[in-house]
Homo-oligomer: A and B are copies of this chain.
């Protein structure tokens, strides 16, 4: 039987950890900072991955695979880039172990590498070293490559899915002939991220531009999708970078234009990661555990047969099989729990795992030709004739998908505050929530606000309207309207 969860209102962080654990999503690995993604959590990630993979293939992108290992010198070629990643690099220095009489198995000092190798924290450098070989003329452009891969950024303060030394992600790396085309690509991908979050994860997101201090190390501009989690903190759910010509210059990648000029290539990069699984939990989870949006749920309908003896079990089984087959034919991901556990245990377990719909059927339902349906999002139960249930379930799933989105949007709107005074600002940030207010555009203000309140500028939203606003901190005329929040 699943243990009770910590109170979501007062112990959100412990609640999160327990949901991840009890829903069998992930576990800690033996090396500090590493994560094991368990089958249920992995299937969830895989559904997100497949959804996004289709989106990028439909827009002309292709997958490839670049090496895990990067020469140390490559990382150093782009000054901001190495600055951004130097403090969290796993460094490979040797290539052999050997037996040692006193100390068991030790690293063989004779296998020391001449140049140390970095385990990729991101792949701009290794990819642009290849693009140098592949790009000569405008005919070779654009290159629209993506890879699904693991990356490593050393972390001491680990949280499963949200902050781990190794995580899984996709990283797109595109090369273009013009600045305009690179900017278009950056925005097109951001729009796909927005669709993925809104339409599939049921997480409403704000789209906008990162400030200079929050942008990606090596980018000209970083755009993002930002979401509000159940504890009112912000989570950066995806970023799309216009890299300008920075990496082309660092790796000397030029091309011959149509009119025979030589020019540096324009670049973008963009990524989403297993962090999105964390975002789904933090956005939709409730006091009973996970609540999964149907479109990405590994199981959309869990069937719980109810019976007291073998004969009843056989009857219920014979009754349920055609119902399940009919659902599978309509493309519904349905699973039956035939384990020996009690119905109560099963109800709790599958609620914990966030399955959108539960279907129950016992001897009385068999007699009456009915099934019982229970929605995970609202708890609402209804008795339906079996054929009606089969017909209705796809619509119910759509309904649940929309319901989760609406609920999250309402929550975000209720907890987003337009504010003009810094006192009010501090109160809201302390209580939790997003603040929408004026910013004078200086890094100094950003830094001071962060030091004093721990809130950061999440983004300059595309729908900003700074006219008439003053900076909530300095009182100067606002250069931008921004979203401030404490963030994951």
Chain A residues in the interface with B (C-beta under 8 A)? 27, 29-31, 34-39, 42-43, 46, 62-76, 82, 86-99, 104-105, 107, 111, 116-119, 126, 129-130, 133, 145, 149-150, 152, 154, 165-166, 168
Contacts and interface: CB of A to CB of B under 8 A. Distances in A.
A30 B166 contact: no
Given A93-B94, A97-B75, A64 B37 contact: yes
B27 A39 contact: no
Given A38-B64, A39-B145, A76-B105, 8 more contacts: A30-B67, A30-B74, A36-B66, A72-B105, A88-B95, A89-B95, A89-B97, A90-B117
A222 to B, nearest CB: 22
B36 A96 contact: no
25 contacts: A27-B133, A29-B66, A30-B70, A31-B70, A31-B71, A34-B68, A35-B67, A37-B65, A39-B62, A39-B63, A42-B64, A42-B65, A43-B63, A65-B168, A68-B68, A68-B166, A73-B105, A75-B97, A90-B92, A90-B117, A91-B94, A91-B95, A92-B92, A119-B119, A150-B150
B92 A96 contact: no
Contacts of A29: 66-67, 69, 126, 130
A92 B94 CA distance: 7
Given A95-B154, A96-B89, A152-B68, A63 B34 contact: no
A97 B36 CA distance: 27
Chain B CB within 10 Å, residue with most, of A30, A76, A104, A154? A30
Contacts of A111: 91
Contact of A105 (B86, B95, B166, B168): B86
Nearest to A149: B150
A86 B97 CA distance: 5
Contacts of A87: 96-97
Contacts of A38: 64
Chain B CB within 10 Å, residue with most, of A46, A74, A95? A95
A105 B93 contact: no
A379 B37 CA distance: 48
Contact of A98 (B34, B86, B99): B86
A410 B166 CA distance: 47
Closest 6 pairs (CB-CB, A-B): A34-B67, A29-B67, A39-B62, A37-B65, A86-B97, A76-B105
B92 A119 contact: yes
B95 A93 contact: no
A145 B42 CA distance: 11
